[in-house]
Structure 1
Amino acid sequence: MKEKITKVNYKKRVKETQTIEGGFLALGFKRYITQYKIIENNFTSSIIRSTIKYEVDDKLSNLASIVNTKLVETLAKTVGKYLTEKKAPP
């Protein structure tokens, strides 16, 4: 799967990517876009809000049920674990 970054807003902490090859496009989706927004919860924690936007032909509407944010959840947990276990340099 190949994606291109279509939006980065450092001030609002938003990143948006669009799949340009493979992935859900290979299954028949016309468009597949993911958006990530980092929301500061407090000084030591943040929330990652992920949004998936997609377009699929009516004939393939049954494919919409396979779209979910499980991969994003796994990634967020992995990064969070890494950051909390990483020790500060001396």
Structure 2
Amino acid sequence: MASTSTTGGTGEGKDNGGGGKDESGYFLDECETNSRTYLESQEIILSESVKFLVNTALSKVVKKGSESSSVPLSHPQSPTPPLITVTPDSKI
């Protein structure tokens, strides 16, 4: 017959460090913070890239248009370019 030894006590092996959240709670909070930071930084990079591409395309169109003819464009230009929003659900 095997004997089982117990130290009786505090259950230190099962302690998660005390306090409110267990390790998985802190891990999830950290993941959420990191993913939010990643998404925000990617959104900034994408919007800057989109601005660059739009400006490049517009400069080519304007340059081509002024070389080919002096006829004004048929549609009015807005004072500000359209706002392009990139969200996490956007497919690129």
Check whether TM > 0.5.
Answer: no
Larger Rg: 2
Q: Tell me which protein shows more strand as a share of its residues.
A: 1
- What TM-score, normalized to structure 2? 0.27
Q: Tell me which protein shows more helix as a share of its residues.
A: 2
